[in-house]
Structure 1
Amino acid sequence: MYKFFALLAAICLAGIGVASSTMAANVGELGFTLSGTDRVDRVQLTLRDGRRSGMHSSSSYRPNELAGLNTDALRAGSGAIGFALVRDAGRVDCRGAAQRAGHAGGQCDFKADPRFAALLASRGIEAPDEEEALGLTLVGATSALVNAVADAGYTRVSADDLTGLAALGVTPAYIGELARGGYKPANVGDLLAFKALDISPSYVAALGRQGYGRIPASELIQLKALDITPEFIRGFREAGYPALPVATLIQAKALNVTPEFVRSLRPPQSSRLSADELIRLKVAGLMP
C-alpha cells in the first residue's frame, strides 16, 4: 500500500513524478471515512491501510460514482452506509455506518478486475500487482487510456505510468489532439510532464506560429514551466529581437529580462546590444 501512497504524493508535489517498485504487494483490509465537501455534488472518500497507520488516499467523487450510496443517510448522520467504486481496473466495496451529519466510516475490500490485467498484458504492459491495481482503480484508469497509449506507440509503460497519466487527467482525446497537431511526446515521462504543465495542442500551435514549431519536447517543457508565452516571444520580436534561440528565451525569462524591460532602456544604453549581452549585463548586476 505504501507504494501507491508514495505515487500519489509524487504526483501532487512534483506534478510529473511517479513511484515504482519491483516488489509485489497485496492490499489488506482498508478503512474508510466519507464526508461531505464544500460542493454539494462531491463527497470526499479517504481510504486507510490498516497495516500502516497514517498511510492513506483521499479523493473527491460525485455521489453517483459510489454505487449504492445513501446520500440521505450520510447527510442525516444516521443509518448504515454502503457503496462500491467500480472502475475498469477493479472495484472497492465499502460498508459501515454514518457517524454524524455528513460523516461516515467503516471498512472496504478491493478486488482487481482480471480483464483489465489481461488487457495490459495484451498491450505489452506488465500486469499490475494488487496494490498497483488499487491505484489504477482509484484514479480511474480506463481501458480506453491503455489502448490510446499503446496505439500511440509508447513502449516500456508501467502500471505506475498509467496511474500517473490517469491521475493527471490524460485522456485518449488529449493524446490524439497532440498527435494531430503534429506533436507527440517521445516517451511517457514527457507525456506526463506535458499534462502536468498543461501543454495543450493550442499552446504548441501558437508557438509554431511564432516560429517555434517542432522544437524538442525538453525545450517545450522548459518554455511552459517558465510560463513563456507566444506573447512574450512576440514582444521580443517587436522590440527588435526576432527569432531568439529557445535557450536565450529561457535565460531571459529566468532573469526577468522581459520585452518591457528592453523597451525601457534608453539609447545609448540599449544601442546594438544583443539579447545575450543584455542577459550577461543582467547577470553581472550592471542593469536594473
Structure 2
Amino acid sequence: MMFYALNVALILAGCFLFYKVLLQKETFFPLNRFVLLGCLALSFSLPLIPVPEQWSFRNADNATAIASIVESKQADELPISNTVSTTQSGAAANQTIYVAPVKKESFFKDISIFKGLVWGYWLGVAVFGLNFLFQLCLLLYRSYRSPSIEDGRYRIVELTGDQAPCSFGNHIFINPEKYDWDTYSQIILHEKIHIQQGHSYDILLAELALIFQWFNPFAWFYRKAIEDNLEFLTDNELLEHSDVEKTSYQMSLVKVSAPHFPISLTTNYNQSVLKKRLIMMNAKKSSLNSTWKYLCILPLLLVFISLLNEPVAYGKTTPKTANKPSQLTTIPTKGSWFATIKGSKVKIRFEGEEDKNSNSNNDFDLSEFKNLPQNTTGQFSLTREAGTVQFTGRFDGNVGMGEYNFNANESYVSFLNTEGIKTDKEKDMFVFFLINIKKDFVTMLKSQGYTQLSKNDLIPLAALKVSKEYISSLKAAGLNELSLQNLIPLKALDIDAAFVTDIKNSGYKDVTASKLISLKAQGITGEDIKTARIAKVESNQNANANANKNANANLNANLNANTKGPKGSKGSKGDKNSDDDALESLIAKKAMNITPEFIKSFRDAGYKFTDEDLLAIKALGITPAFCKKFDAVIPNLETENYVSLKALGFTPEEYNSYLKLGFKKLDIGDVMGAKSTGVTPAFITEMRKKGRNYSTIDKYISLKVLSID
C-alpha cells in the first residue's frame, strides 16, 4: 500500500505542476475543472494498471511473466499464477503442483523503521479521516439546528458572528445582518451557482484524496487549485448576468471576505484567494489557439505509467483459462487421498484435512508403489529425497481412497539449509517432494554459476525440468547472460538453441533473453523478422526515391538521402537501435494482429501508412472504406486526421450537416474542435435563434467552452 501511495503522490505532483505551469492562467475554467478532477481520479487509478513489458521503463516481475507465458502454453491446466505443470514422455511423470508465486523480497522487509513509517501513514489516514467525518457532522448539525429559509431547491441557513458566507450541498450559510441588500443578493446568486454546478462534490473528492495523501504537500496545493478554479468559474458565470456590474461585484467581494475561514468542506469566500479572483476577472480571455496545452497531459501520464506501473509480459491466453479462480499456494501435509490407475500411471488427488479446497492432482509412475492394497484396507508408502508419504486406504479395482501423512526428510532439509536455501519444512517440503527436487539438481545449478538459489527459483525450474544440457545449449547458442528468472519463461515457452539460432540468422544479432521471450510469446519466428526487414528496405527505397525526386536541384542532397536513408529513419541496416526499433514494431504489430493482408488492403486503396499509424488504425478499427468515405467530402486528409475522426466518432454525414449551416470556411480542424466540445449543428441553430450569428465555427466553440447562453 505504501508503494501505491507513493506512486499516487508522484503522479499527483506531476499533474499539479503541469496545471500550475501551463493551465492556471488560462480562462477556460470549465475545462480546467474537468482536467483537475480527471487528473485527480487518474492519479489514484493509473498505478493499478499493468503495462506491457516492452512499453515500460522497468523489467517485468518474473512471477507475472511466468504466469502469462506458461498459461498460454498449457491451456488445459489450472491457472499458472499459482501452478507449475510438467510433462514428460515415457516412464516420466506428468505432474500438476501448486506452488507459491515468485515474489521479489522487499529490501525493507525486516527493517523496523519502514514498519514504523507504515504505521505512521495509517495513523495519519485515521486522523484525517476522523477530521473529515467531524467536519461533515458539524455541517449537518449547523444545517438543521440553525434558522433557515427555503428558497426553491436552496436552503439558506442563517449564521451569527463574523463568519464568511459559504455553501455545501444545497445549503447556503450566511449572516444576513452583516450585508446590505445588493451585496446579500450577489452573495446568494454566487452561492447558487456553486450549488447548481455541484461544486461541493469537487471539494469532497479533493478532501477524500487528502485523507490518503495527507503526507504529500502537492496534494494540499492540488486541493487549493481545485477550490480556486471553482471560484474563478463561479465569478465568470456570475458576471455573464446582465444585472451584475463587474465593479460593484468586485467591491462586494472585498466587503464579504472575512478573516475567519469556514469549514474546509464548503465552497466559500476568504481573503487568501481574493486577489487571485480579482486578477482573473480582469484577465484577457484565453485564445482557442492555446488549447494545445491541454493535450500535453497525455504524454505526461504515459510517462508516469511507463515509469511507475508494474510491467507484465503478455503471452497468448485462451478464454478457457481466463476466468478460473486461483489455486492455493500450499498443500497440507495431512488429509485424504483419491486415486485412479490408468495404465502405468497413478493419478492421486491430495485433499486437505480441514480445508477441502486445499488440494492437488498429481501423476506418479505405478512402479514407484509396492503392494497397493486391493479390496482391503492397508498401508503403503512413497519415498523420495524430500521425504515420505504414508498412505492408509484401499483400492477397489483401479480406484482407491484413504488418508495420507507426509514426513519431511531431515537430512534433505539440512542439505538445503547448508546450500543457503531457506525453506519452511511444514509448507515447502511436500511441494519439493511432489516435484521431486533432488539434491543433484541443486548441485547442477550451482555448478552452472547460480549460487544464489532460493526455493522460489528451484520449484519452477525443477517443475519445468530445466537441465544442464538445456542451459549449456542456450549458452552455446550465444545467450551467455542467463539469469534464473530468464530460464523459467525460456523453458516454459520451449525456447531452445534452434529458436535462438533461427532469430540470429534472420539478421537480429544482439538478441537477449527478454527479447526472445517476447518474440516466442507472440509467435514471431525468424521468417517473420526477415519479411519485416524486406518490407522495411522497400519502404526506405520508396522514401529515398521520393527524396531524390523532390531534390533534383541539389545533387548533394540526393547523395545524402541515398546514403543516410529517408528523413526520420532511425539507422541503417545492422544498427542496433534500428534493429531494436524494428523488432519492437514487429512485436507490437503481431500483438495487434496486423497481418500482411491488413496492410495490403490499405496499399491497394492507395494509402501508405507507417508502422505507428497502423497500430493506431488497427486499434480504432479504421478500414480503407472508412478513409474513402471521408476523402469524398474532405480532401487532403492526413493520417492523424483519420485517427482523430474515428476516435471522436465523427461521420461524413455530420460534416455535411455543418456545411448546410452555410459556413464558407470549414476545415477539418474546425469540425473536430466542434465535435470534441459538443458544438453540434443543433447547438449552432439554437444559438442563432438567440441572435448569435457568426460566420466562423470557432465563435460557437468559444460560446460552448465558456458556457455562454
TM-score category of the 2 structures, normalised to the smaller one: 0.7 to 0.9
Q: Residues 227 and 8 (structure 1 numbering): CA distance in 2 closer, same or farther, change over 3 Å?
A: closer
Q: Is the 8 A contact 1:125 1:158 kept in 2?
A: yes
Distance in structure 1 (CA, Å) of the matches to 2:463 and 2:584:
31
Amino acid in the other structure paired with 2:513: A
Normalised by the length of structure 2, the TM-score is 0.34
CA–CA separation in structure 2 for the residues paired with 1:102 and 1:192: 36
> 1:55, CA displacement in angstroms?
0.5
Greater C-alpha radius of gyration: 2
Q: What root-mean-square deviation, in Å, do the aligned CA atoms of Structure 1 and Structure 2 show?
A: 3.4
Which of 327, 331, 337 is residue 32 of structure 1 equivalent to?
337
Distance across 2 between alignment mates of 1:130 and 1:270: 65
Match of residue 434 from structure 2: 138
Contact 1:90 1:112 in 2 (8 A): yes
Match of 2:390 among 93, 99, 103: 93
Amino acid in the other structure paired with 2:490: F
Q: Which residue of 2 is the match for residue 275 of structure 1?
A: 611
Aligned to 1:63: 366
Return the match for 1:11 from 83, 86, 92.
83
Question: Which residues of 2 match residues 242-281 of structure 1 at below 5 A?
Answer: 243=579, 245-263=582-600, 266=603, 269=606, 273-281=609-617
Q: Percent identity?
A: 26
Q: Which amino acid aligns with 1:175?
A: I
Matches within 5 A, 1:174-185: 174-184=470-480
1:232-288 CA deviation, whole Å, 9 max, x = no partner? 2222234455856221111110122234544565457365x5433443443454446
Task: Encode CA deviations 1:162-200: one digit per residue, 9 max, x unaligned.
Answer: 122222232333223222322156432222222222222
Query: What residue is the counterpart of 1:154 in the other structure?
Result: 450
Q: Which has the larger share of strand?
A: 1
Q: What are the superposed Cα offsets for residues 58-91 of structure 1, whole Å, 9 maximum, x if unpaired? A: 11122013x31438x3xxxx23454333222222
The equivalent residue for 2:380 is 83
SS in 1 for 2:421: coil
1:141 deviates by 1.3
Letter in 2 for 1:104: G
Cα distance, 1:28 vs structure 2 = 4.5
Mapped pair 1:199 → 2:488: no
CA distance in 2, matches of 1:178, 1:119: 29
Q: Confirm or deny: 8 A CA contact 1:81 1:104 kept in the other structure.
A: no
**Structure 1's 185 and 132: CA in aligned 2 closer, same or farther, altered over 3 A?**
farther
- Cα distance change of structure 1 residues 252 and 19 upon mapping to structure 2, 3 Å threshold: closer
**How many residues are treated as equivalent by the alignment?**
270
Deviation at 1:221, TM superposition (A): 1.7
- Secondary structure, counterpart of 2:500 in structure 1: helix
CA contact (8 A) 2:333 2:426 kept: no
- Identify the range of structure 1 (194-203 vs 262-271) with the bigger mean alpha-carbon deviation: 262-271
* Equivalent of residue 164 in structure 1, options 431, 456, 460: 460
Larger deviation, residues 89-98 vs 245-254: 89-98
Whether the 8 Å CA contact 2:493–2:521 is kept in 1: the answer is: yes
Q: In structure 2, how many angstroms separate the alpha carbons of the residues matched to 1:7 and 1:153?
A: 31
Cα distance change, pair 107–185 in 1 and its aligned pair in 2 (3 A): farther
Cα distance in 2, alignment partners of residues 218 and 130 from structure 1: 35
Letter in 2 for 1:220: L
Q: Would you say 1:111 and 2:407 are equivalent positions?
A: yes
Partner Cα separation in structure 1 for residue 617 and residue 331 of structure 2? 59
Aligned to 1:223: 519
Query: For 1:15-65, what per-residue CA distance to the aligned partner results, in whole angstroms no more than 9, with x for missing partners?
Result: 99725699xx9954232111124xx22221111221322201111122013
Could you say what secondary structure the match of 2:337 adopts? Answer: strand
Conserved? CA contact 1:32–1:107, under 8 Å:
yes
Tell me the SS of whatever aligns to 2:478. coil
For the residues of structure 1 that align with 2:80 and 2:391, how far apart are their CA atoms? 21
Aligned to 2:357: 54
| Residues 133-187 of structure 1, C-alpha deviations (whole Å, 9 max, x = no match) | 1101101112232122222333543223212222223233322322232215643
- Distance in 2, matches of 1:202 and 1:190, equals 17
Report deviation, 1:8: 7.2
Q: Distance in 1 between matches of 2:357 and 2:520?
A: 35
Distance 1:119 1:104 in 2: 35
Normalised TM-score (structure 1): 0.78
Aligned 8 A contact 1:91 1:111 in 2? yes
Q: Distance in 1 between matches of 2:400 and 2:592?
A: 51
1: CA distance between counterparts of 2:594 and 2:332?
52
Structure 2 residue matching 1:245: 3-state secondary structure: helix
For residues 509 and 403 of structure 2, what CA distance do their matches in structure 1 show? 52
Partner of 2:193: none
CA distance in 1, matches of 2:404, 2:457: 25
Give the corresponding residue for 2:419. Answer: 123
The answer for unaligned runs of 5 or more in structure 2 is 1-77, 86-97, 110-329, 538-572, 574-578, 625-709
Instruction: Decide whether aligned partners of structure 1 residues 12 and 133 sit closer, same or farther in structure 2, where only a CA change above 3 A counts.
Output: closer
Alignment-mate amino acid for residue 258 of structure 1:
T
- Matched-pair contact (CA < 8 Å) for 2:381–2:390: yes
Aligned partner of residue 111 in structure 1, secondary structure: strand
CA distance in 1, matches of 2:367, 2:480: 35
Q: Unmatched 5+ residue regions in structure 1?
A: 1-5
> Is residue 125–residue 157 contact of structure 1 (8 Å, CA) maintained in 2?
yes
State the alpha-carbon separation in 2 of the partners of residues 96 and 260 from structure 1: 62
- Residue number among 340, 345, 356 corresponding to 1:42 in the alignment: 345
- For 1:177, the aligned partner's letter is S
- SS state at 1:218 partner: helix
> Which structure has the highest helix share of the two?
2
